[in-house]
Structure 1
Amino acid sequence: MIRFTHTPPSSHQTMNNQSPITVPRRRPWPGLFASSSSSKALGTWLGEDANCMEHLLVHCANAIESNDATLAQQILWVLNNIATPDGDSNQRLASAFLRALVTRAANIGSCKILAAISTAATPSSLTTHSFSLMDLAAFVDLTPWHRFGFTTANAAILDAIEGYSALHVVDFSLMHCMQIPTLIDAIATRFEFPPLLKLTTVVVAAVKHAPPMLELSYEELGAKLVNFARSKNVSMEFRFVESCYTHGFSNLIQEIRVQNLIYGPESKEALILNCHMMLHYIPEETLNPNPSPNFDMSSSTRSMFLKEIRSLEPAIVILVDEEADFTASKMVSRLRSAFNYLWIPYDSMDSILPRNSKQREWYEAGICRKIENVIAEEGIERVERLEPKTRWVQRMVNSKFRGVGFGDDAVSEVKTMLDEHAAGWGLKKEDDHLLLTWKGHDVLFATAWVPC
């Protein structure tokens, strides 16, 4: 739970420069708390603990879901006054959730009055920014959020390709191959005669416009990677494949299977599946609003995808993702889970960037989009369906994979990388898995798997 210091009201408060609920900040609190028992309880609670934003957001979410416009407007009024989009990290986090709740009222059609307010005064659009390749590299280097996965995956790949004359890396990631230059460099350094590197990057049409955006086309990106590999005396082939996560990347799986048949086992080619914060976009079982009482998790799209991957006999599968659960069918439960996880990127940004930083604005715009998707969208449109490590581990085991640990070299490399970042980032090991932490809280997990 994150607590906030309530600053006495002064002037007007805006959200993204446009307030969905325009009220003077010095106006007394609405005299609506006495209108119902729930309002009385809220008024009493606020008097005792005005600092707890999570409780305010949960009360507001419950009011919106029950179509209680009067209560929802009261709480939104309070939130709009104290959850400032340009305040400290906690206030910015709450402001993002406030925006998402108002958007949900409009999208879902509940709480009709709030939907009308949202339509009449829609907040300004979230910042979008297209990066150059160099700027994106610098952006990724701000925190270990992606570097943790890159470092652990590269270490596992290097160990897995010993004795192979070629490796085929299938890259499931939204990070525009930012991991690959360091992999190329490591291959060139480690092997006297580097193996041929084949790279297939997966472009998912439904999320390809998700941040961060890159100015280059994939054709241009591939050409630059091939030229970089050549400069390191590494032979490289590049291709990108558009695929659909809603069908478990079935067309991609078929293409990989065809390639395996063409080259055959005598090719000494290692197939590497590098899954970096992408698999949680595959629909999971809670997307079915009326699951069978005897529903088997192993029959879900995610589990079927993993079984298809297993049938390809990969040399190794690396799975890195965020350690959170955004799959609850009830929006209020998702709000609690998201609020108690997504404070981490806001808090970590405050440790390295000033409040007027454009980089921080771009970074947090991406988190805002995630929050809006988790809170304001439903059905197939809600793509941010994170699952915790324990559930992914069970899926992998059920799909006939066994975990392989990360070696001492991998652990040492991660620790060295973390030394380059702000104090607060840490590393811990659970069984064969590694976890990135922020101030002791689990952030990301990295796991590596081979066929049983």
Structure 2
Amino acid sequence: MMNKNQTHRTRPWPGFPTPKSLGTNFGDANCMEQLLVHCANAIETNDATLTQQILWVLNNIAPQDGDSNQRLTCAFLRALIARAARIGSCKVLAAMANSQANFTIHTHKFSVIELASFIDLTPWHRFGFTAANAAILEAVEGYSVVHIVDLSLTHCMQIPTLVDAIASRQDANVSPPLLKLTVAGTTEDIPPMLDLSYEELGFKLVNFARSRNIVLEFRVIPSSYTDGFANLIQQLRVQNLVYAESGEALVVNCHMMLHYIPEETLTLPSINLNPSSSGSTSSYAFDVASSSSSTTPSLRTMFLKALRGLDPTIVVLVDEDADLTSNNLVCRLRSAFNYLWIPYDTVDTFLPRGSKQRQWYEADVCWKIENVIAYEGFQRVERLEPKCRWVQRMRNANFRSVLFGEDAVSEVKAMLDEHAAGWGLKREDEDVVLTWKGHNVVFATAWIPA
């Protein structure tokens, strides 16, 4: 601790940005990002004094009820404090994190109705739903049985929109296809969270489909992203011959879930596969876990190759267009800061301050920021990759991209018209990308076996 004579210094703190380098506007996003970077460096070098000094500045310029830049910075501030407390670099910070309730993230467990209306607030998920549904409908045209494997962060909230689309396009003289829906029953608590079991959710989906005159069969396969959905792949392999003989379409819908599968920056020896958590574990997971070779493909790569082996009719991959895979904290912080300003900026356009939905929305973003900043190794599950890298992964797994047609683009544009003017759509090769004020947010890609 400093004594009274040390509280005011005539020279800047070591490594601390000077007023000249920061500029005079402490509310500027670039200034706040630079302060966060200096704070992260101080934590990593175990400089508790400098860490506390920068945190004091951040705490005064970034209130949790401020503007979008201040709320974003406050979330990173809390994440850095959580990191300092976790690695034990500063006892004062650990005490601060443990004693102040406002550093605790309270994520909401949604009812189905709450989650459906919550998703409708923004194109963040609706964009992927709309683009994917259009691609799926075109791919399964003429099939009497459509099997959908839904790997979705939003707990099947896309399925009612797909059922509606199938029912709306159905010819009165032709029977609608039988829908088989398979989901991976993951147990991990990743926002948004649902307050009911997958069995209860399946019952609701079956009833909804029936109300639209469509027969839906629902199945849950206990499986986890931690081992590359190994049990799900194994169960689908067992039934693969059935698909081929019956001539049913196999649709794999991946909506913001695949980036939780471990990739190359997570060193393989730290992966602790637990077969008991997913029933049985397929051979590809064991192969990866047992090898210490630096050339061994990641679980992410192995999953996509295993998926290709199922010969699906179509694979739709939708995810957030950012890179959060760096093992360097500062690089990861900069990348996250320059992407996650978007949800804070957009929330001001559709939710008033103090509303419960806004609290839920920002708590989910805070959870993501804390996971990216405060955790390492297997506990850091938010490992987003940009579109270009996913495109290369899919091509390496022997998939060929499919162009989104004009119908898909028109439907996405019509959906965006329901939201704030800042949202936009652009095409990149065969893919479509959701933008906010010109910045890439979410991409949608469609693939068939090459």
Alignment TM-score > 0.5, same fold: yes
Aligned to 2:132: 153
Unaligned runs of 5+ in 2: 271-290
- Asked if 1:224 is matched to 2:224, the reply is no
Contact 2:184 2:221 (C-alpha < 8 Å) held by counterparts: yes
Alpha-carbon displacement from aligned partner over 1:356-396 (angstroms, at most 9, x marks no partner):
11111100000000000000000100000000001111100
Q: What code does the residue aligned with 1:361 have?
A: Q
- Asked if 1:249 is matched to 2:229, the reply is yes
1:186 to 165, 168, 175: 165
- Asked if 1:303 is matched to 2:280, the reply is no
Contact 1:287 1:380 (C-alpha < 8 Å) held by counterparts: yes
Q: Any idea what SS the aligned residue of 2:372 has?
A: helix
Q: Any idea what SS the aligned residue of 2:316 has?
A: strand
Aligned to 2:214: 234
Map 1:284-299 onto structure 2 (within 5 A): 284-288=263-267, 295-296=294-295, 299=297
- Asked if 1:129 is matched to 2:108, the reply is yes
Aligned to 1:45: 21
Q: What code does the residue aligned with 1:45 have?
A: S
Q: What code does the residue aligned with 2:376 have?
A: E
Contact 1:33 1:43 (C-alpha < 8 Å) held by counterparts: no
Q: Any idea what SS the aligned residue of 1:204 has?
A: coil
Aligned to 1:3: none
Contact 2:12 2:18 (C-alpha < 8 Å) held by counterparts: no
Q: Any idea what SS the aligned residue of 2:121 has?
A: coil
- Structure 1 236/71 Cα, relative in aligned 2: closer, same or farther at 3 Å? same
CA distance in 2, matches of 1:171, 1:383: 20
Contact 2:48 2:89 (C-alpha < 8 Å) held by counterparts: no
Contact 2:422 2:437 (C-alpha < 8 Å) held by counterparts: yes
Contact 2:78 2:103 (C-alpha < 8 Å) held by counterparts: no
Aligned to 2:190: 210
CA distance in 2, matches of 1:169, 1:222: 13
Post-superposition offset of 1:266: 2.6
Q: What code does the residue aligned with 2:239 have?
A: Q
Post-superposition offset of 1:113: 4.1
CA distance in 2, matches of 1:79, 1:400: 48
Q: What code does the residue aligned with 2:40 have?
A: A
CA distance in 2, matches of 1:309, 1:382: 24
Q: Any idea what SS the aligned residue of 2:433 has?
A: strand
Alpha-carbon displacement from aligned partner over 1:404-442 (angstroms, at most 9, x marks no partner):
010100000000000000110000000000000000000
Unaligned runs of 5+ in 1: 1-26
Aligned to 1:384: 382
Q: What code does the residue aligned with 1:451 have?
A: P
1:276 to 227, 245, 255: 255
Q: Any idea what SS the aligned residue of 1:426 has?
A: strand
Q: TM-score when scaled to structure 2? A: 0.89
* Count of equivalent residues: 421
CA distance in 1, matches of 2:194, 2:93: 36
- Asked if 1:357 is matched to 2:355, the reply is yes
- Structure 1 184/319 Cα, relative in aligned 2: closer, same or farther at 3 Å? same
Alpha-carbon displacement from aligned partner over 1:25-74 (angstroms, at most 9, x marks no partner):
xx9x95257375424x5455346553310111111111111111111111
- Computed over aligned residues only, the root mean square deviation of the Cα atoms, in angstroms, reads 2.3
Map 1:110-121 onto structure 2 (within 5 A): 110-121=89-100
Q: What code does the residue aligned with 1:327 have?
A: T
Contact 2:243 2:250 (C-alpha < 8 Å) held by counterparts: no
Q: What code does the residue aligned with 1:386 have?
A: L
CA distance in 1, matches of 2:101, 2:325: 27
Contact 2:184 2:224 (C-alpha < 8 Å) held by counterparts: no
Q: What code does the residue aligned with 2:85 have?
A: A
CA distance in 2, matches of 1:421, 1:86: 24
Aligned to 2:316: 318
Aligned to 2:443: 445
Alpha-carbon displacement from aligned partner over 1:83-133 (angstroms, at most 9, x marks no partner):
010111111000000000000001122344433443444645222322222
- Structure 1 164/275 Cα, relative in aligned 2: closer, same or farther at 3 Å? same
Q: What code does the residue aligned with 1:196 have?
A: L
- Structure 1 244/294 Cα, relative in aligned 2: closer, same or farther at 3 Å? closer
Q: What code does the residue aligned with 1:204 have?
A: T
Aligned to 1:265: 244
1:80 to 43, 59, 63: 59
Aligned to 1:344: 342
Contact 1:79 1:98 (C-alpha < 8 Å) held by counterparts: yes
Alpha-carbon displacement from aligned partner over 1:294-343 (angstroms, at most 9, x marks no partner):
844x7111111000000000000000000000000011111000000000
- Structure 1 264/54 Cα, relative in aligned 2: closer, same or farther at 3 Å? closer
Contact 2:43 2:51 (C-alpha < 8 Å) held by counterparts: yes
Contact 2:119 2:125 (C-alpha < 8 Å) held by counterparts: yes
CA distance in 2, matches of 1:105, 1:124: 13
Q: What code does the residue aligned with 1:355 have?
A: R
CA distance in 2, matches of 1:43, 1:352: 36
Post-superposition offset of 1:235: 1.1
Aligned to 2:285: none
Q: What code does the residue aligned with 2:216 have?
A: M
Post-superposition offset of 1:191: 2.6
- Structure 1 47/391 Cα, relative in aligned 2: closer, same or farther at 3 Å? closer
Q: Any idea what SS the aligned residue of 1:370 has?
A: helix
Range with greater deviation from structure 2 (67-76 or 360-369):
67-76
Post-superposition offset of 1:228: 1.3
Range with greater deviation from structure 2 (47-56 or 286-295):
286-295
